Amino acid sequence: MAKELSMLQYLCDGQLPSRRRQLQMVVSLSVPAVLAQLSTTIMQYIDAAMVGSLGANASASIGLVSSSTWLLGGWCTAAVTGFSVQVAQFSGAGEREKGRAVFCQSIIMAAVLGLTLALIGTGVSSFLPGWLGGKAEICGDASSYFFILCCALPSLQFRQLAGGMLQCSGDIKTPSVLNILMCGLDVLFNSLLIFPARHCALFGWRFLVPGAGLGVKGAALGTALADVVTACLMLYAACIRSEHLRLDRSCSWKPDPLCWKTAARVSVPLAFEHFILCSAQIAATHIVAPLGTVAIAANSLAVTAESLCYMPGGGIGTAATTLVGQSLGAGRRDMARRFARLSVLLGVSVMTVTGLLMFLLAPYIFTMLTPDPEVRLLGARVLRIEAFAEPLFAASIVTAGALRGAGDTKIPSLLNFFSMWGVRITTASFLAPRIGLYGVWIAMCAELCIRGVLFLIRLLREKWLDQILIAEGISKNK
């Protein structure tokens, strides 16, 4: 916690830390977030391997609805961001009580939105696989998987809320540790719920491992249970243990129109952005579906495999949101600019290395994910196409995080709309009937490169520094 406080001290004292110290701040906030991303990615790999061992149909059933689950989860994230960015800026301004008041308002939002999305998701779960063009043999499992995850959306909403608030108040370590714990719980619950009871041997001892044998349904239940446990722990950390967020009797639960209006100014464009991205993913799934079960499974597993490459960008982007938000909250445009650029440079450097590793290790990665030789071969080939886009993909991920810290979400959402629908979907729909899944991933690679260039232009033009501060009553930009 000392490093986070020293950063706030720089802001309060009006000092300009050295470039080395600024880089240390970025890294100190990024490492816990990257470790959390890594644990989540490992969880996805293990989940994919567990389900993949059941066959291509099982992998395809999850892959068919994965974009839809990302859409609902993205809306939860967007709603949280509108409130958490206010907390980041209030923290930078030293306005702890105002940050706590925002947290109270966000809890009301989480309860209403989480339940609403759960009702919508469960209501369409029976029809969704058919709408997406899934074949009859995978629609049943796909529907059950989506239904169970939608039932757990309130816990997902509260986990993201508490984690986002802790991060933006300067505590990235606690949510990172709890997210790592969630991954371990997910693996444990999945192993007990996916497979039937079986005998295992360890150091010459044979013992019975219990199991429910629920297959794809077990994978959804395992993830949902892990989310519920982690949400409870995350709320405890934020509501009771956090020095900055801890709730007490002075907190007002009466809706504050100004707070909600400010949150909407950030969250609505971000929700639109998630809709753009995920609806484009759903459209891409519809493009892939006619290519057959092998293509659907390879596409789903390749997306999972690629997450290992871009997870450092997500962690560094989280750090950039906190650093830029706190800097602007303190009225330090100079530090906001430097932190944004340093974060992007670090993200591009790291993801260039991970992209190279992904290209070299693609065949070995798919060996772990599925026993199906056709899925392995196709998945490794398309994954290698994507590796060339990783540096510019990093630029877009980290820049988006920095812009969120400034409350700049409208223009980024429009840039994503142009790149996803103007480039990826149109190109994929043209290439897929001609060269199959390769065409879909060539389109994805081209779109990510264009998106990275657009976000870099937005970053360097610096109009985001002129955004009106989200937090009312804090010092003006210098």
Q: Are 463 and 477 in contact (CB under 8 A)?
A: no
Residue environment code for 201-222, b if the CB has 16+ CB neighbours within 10 A, otherwise e: eeeeeeeeeeebebbbbbbbbb
- What's the confidence (pLDDT) of residue 475? 39
- What's the confidence (pLDDT) of residue 472? 45
- What's the confidence (pLDDT) of residue 15? 57
CA distances from 270 to 264, 424, 459 (A): 9, 20, 17
* 7 C-beta neighbours (distance < 10 Å), count: 26
Cα–Cα distance, 20 to 30 (Å, whole number): 15
Task: Give the mean model confidence (pLDDT) for residues 108-120.
Answer: 95
Opening angle at CA 417, ends 36 and 389, nearest 5: 55
End-to-end CA separation in angstroms for the chain? 27
* Token pair for 100: 């706590």
- What's the confidence (pLDDT) of residue 468? 58
Q: Is 140 exposed, middle or buried (CB count within 10 Å of its CB: 0-12, 13-18, 19+)? A: middle
Q: Where are the domains of the chain?
A: 2-466
Per residue in 189-217, pLDDT tens? 988 998 888 777 766 787 777 888 888 89
Inform me whether the pLDDT recorded for 11 exceeds 50: yes
466/218: higher pLDDT: 218
Q: Spell out where 138-243 has E strands.
A: 196-202, 205-212
Q: Are 81 and 404 in contact (CB under 8 A)?
A: yes
DSSP state of 202: E
Per residue in 151-196, pLDDT tens? 999 999 999 899 989 988 878 789 888 988 988 898 899 889 988 8
Q: Are 337 and 462 in contact (CB under 8 A)?
A: yes
Task: Give the mean model confidence (pLDDT) for residues 263-291.
Answer: 85
Residue whose tokens read 């043209």 = 430
Residue whose tokens read 């484009």 = 280
